[in-house]
Structure 1
Amino acid sequence: MKSIISGVKISSICAVVPARVLKFEDELKEFPFPESSSRRLGKVMGFREHRIADPKTTLIDLAAYGINCLFKEGVIKKEDIDCLVFSSQVREHLVPGNSKVLHGFLNLSRNTHCIDLYENCTGFISGLYTACSIMRASNLNCVLLVVSNSGCCYANKKDRNTYPLAGDAAGIAVISRADEKETIDFAFFNDSDLRDNLITPAGGMRMPATEETAKMHIDDMGNYRSLNQLHMDGTGVFHYVMENVPFLIKEICELADVKKEDIKYHLTHQPNRFMLEKLADLINVPREIMFNNIVENFGNSSSSTIPVNIAYNLSDKLIDNSYKVCLSAFGAGMSVAGAIMNLGKMDYCKLIEHPCNGSNEY
């Protein structure tokens, strides 16, 4: 699916990461592999440290903390928020949805419309498309897009395939009206026959969680996993990304009538450094314009990696300048998503730390 939406823009971004830092070096003893083997893997993949919130700090706490920062800094006011779009694969409660919980935490107007998207690593781009579509089809002036991920403190520490790259974070984007000449071009593709490449088998309706599904087993690689935990075929995911993201970028450049060399930055979802280095080489763009430093500093926070990427690498530049950028993401499904836009001249763009004390007040 491809679409062009005009007259909208991202006017502010706030990314929130936990202050709690866990180091790969300290976790080596947990993995059922020789430490020398884990160190070699960590060097290639970019495993150095990651941010993981404590159990009492939830994805709503991270998100509310960032939005309260925007309130305090005078970037937006509560009464400005016409609509709240919350995109995440993690839930505060089974019922109600995250957007309703966050709405209550922030004490927003009862006229603020709340929408929940159950999304994973492509969630920021899917949420951006939803937010922009709502604004374009209405008379609204301010839509708040929220992506958030937490709960990595409960992740399986004996699975070297997933735990070293896990991270918690939230991202908040303020979507505003823009000149009609401004467009955001979107593209989405899904290959759901490959969904077993990245899946948590148990815990849903098809396979409810039981004592049996909670039992640990050793996989072919030597990692310990239960059916209640994330299963990732790293090789399958790698090949899917290498085959499909270059095609996505080619398609979206054609849709936007943009040449590859006109793109100043590729702001990509960040699974690990190795994959992004290979992807940059494959699409023949300099590695320095496809940042790959998020996992080594913060971890892979699913849908939040793109706003963390933007705020960490470009915060100062995006206040006074505007650049042609390409967003791209890939994840469970299997799915890929992309967007091309002019990004910059923002009111606010910062990365802030949450104190990890369960607070949602900045």
Structure 2
Amino acid sequence: MNSAKISSVSYYLPERILSNSDIAELFPEWSVEKISAKTGISTRHIAATDEFASDMAVNAAKKLFHENKIDPNDIEYIILSTQTPDYYLPSTACIIQDKLGVPTSSGATDITLGCSGYVYALGLAKGLVESGQVSNVLVLTSDTYSKFINEADKSVRTIFGDAATATLVELDAAGESISGITYGTDGSGAKSLIVPNGGLRKGTAISPRSEPMLRELNSNGYDLYMDGPDIFNFTIKVVPEALGKILTKADVRKDEIDLFVFHQANAFMLDHLRKKLEIEDEKFIVSMSDIGNTVSSTIPIALSKLVEEDKLKPGMTVLLLGFGVGLSWGGMVVKWR
């Protein structure tokens, strides 16, 4: 039977850096120390004015190709997870196919998911490979949430950063290495994390509190809104349930997992989850202090950094779990090859 594996992961970060000192200058009531304590973040990377999702994804893919001697001509399918596409249409993945020089015989599609997007994209890639449709998939994540954020809204400006990642999923002769895939969706929580303006339908219709004037903001045309307490309560409820389902479906025990790589939402939430789930500190990855919450890119960046630091080695078992905007969640167990 055909099996799919993660062969390699790379990431790209924009050049501009927004530090806690920069934010504290704009909002004197929030000190550098307060921002760090509340979020666990010290700096975040911000896309340039003329830098968009396709640009960042292309940079991440080129880095992956260079580091792993991958020929773009060998890529058979592209999946891009983004909530900040270049255009309403065409698909940003199609633009990326052309920019990368990937053959026109390849498939290319976007999926519009955020914090759980990487897991969903991996699940789709696994299906494409194991069903024999293609022998490899280039999974990309790229989000520029900074373009949605109202500069006067410190509640989200302190959290989100921009980034892109590239992952190659291909056939694995050694046996199944991606298992226990679990998904979840609760669209009733769509109102809790939303860009109310700039789309075809006003978001204030389902999320009245996202109205910029009610938040004492002058609209920037997008005005990303997040109900922090709602997102926190959702996460604390669904993550333990999802973790149990993943372990059961993968037929592994919690103590057999070498590393737990969750969506890097913020340090406070991650610490609460770790304690609630009784996961050893050394197995629970927190990797966001210098990049912030990069939405769909948090998990693959964490994986890439673990490889760079020689903390993720072949044969190790890793549990991935993404959760957030949608509301949506998804997880899986990966045997690292």
- TM-score of the superposed pair, with normalisation by structure 2: 0.91
The aligned counterpart of 2:259 is 265
Note the C-alpha offset of 1:139: 4.7
Is 2:91 the counterpart of 1:84? no
CA contact (8 A) 2:9 2:64 kept: no
2-structure distance, mates of 1:105, 1:181 = 33
Note the C-alpha offset of 1:6: 6.5
Note the C-alpha offset of 1:16: 1.1
Which structure has greater strand proportion? 1
CA contact (8 A) 1:88 1:147 kept: yes
The aligned counterpart of 1:310 is 303
Equivalent in 89, 100, 103 of residue 97 of structure 2: 103
Is 2:13 the counterpart of 1:20? no
Provide, for residues 297-341 of structure 1, a one-character-per-residue CA deviation record: whole Å limited to 9, x for no partner.
Answer: 101111011111111233343775331111001111212111112
Structure 2 SS opposite 1:15: strand
Note the C-alpha offset of 1:56: 1.7
2-structure distance, mates of 1:341, 1:71 = 22
The aligned counterpart of 1:217 is 213
The aligned counterpart of 1:198 is 193
The aligned counterpart of 2:123 is 129
1-structure distance, mates of 2:182, 2:312 = 27
Structure 1: gaps spanning 5 or more residues: 346-362
Structure 1 runs of 4+ off > 6 angstroms? none
1-structure distance, mates of 2:254, 2:68 = 37
Q: Relative contact order, CA 8 A, sep 6+: which one is greater?
A: 1
The aligned counterpart of 2:278 is 284
Note the C-alpha offset of 1:29: 3.0
The aligned counterpart of 2:175 is 180
Structure 2 SS opposite 1:162: helix
- The number of aligned residues is 331
Distance 1:165 1:225, change over 3 A: farther
- TM-score of the superposed pair, with normalisation by structure 1: 0.85
Aligned-residue identity in percent: 25
- AA paired with 1:12? S
- AA paired with 1:56? D
Provide, for residues 19-44 of structure 1, a one-character-per-residue CA deviation record: whole Å limited to 9, x for no partner.
Answer: 3222111211323x6234x7424313
Distance 1:334 1:74, change over 3 A: closer
2-structure distance, mates of 1:183, 1:215 = 42
Is 2:327 the counterpart of 1:334? yes
CA RMSD of aligned residues (A): 2.4
2-structure distance, mates of 1:285, 1:10 = 24
1-structure distance, mates of 2:99, 2:14 = 19
The aligned counterpart of 1:159 is 153
Note the C-alpha offset of 1:215: 8.2
Structure 2: gaps spanning 5 or more residues: 205-209
Distance 1:307 1:233, change over 3 A: same
Equivalent in 236, 240, 247 of residue 242 of structure 1: 236
CA contact (8 A) 1:83 1:112 kept: yes
Distance 1:116 1:35, change over 3 A: closer
Is 2:6 the counterpart of 1:10? yes
Matches within 5 A, 1:24-35: 24-31=20-27, 34-35=29-30
Is 2:157 the counterpart of 1:170? no
Provide, for residues 259-287 of structure 1, a one-character-per-residue CA deviation record: whole Å limited to 9, x for no partner.
Answer: 11111111111111110000000000023
Distance 1:166 1:173, change over 3 A: same
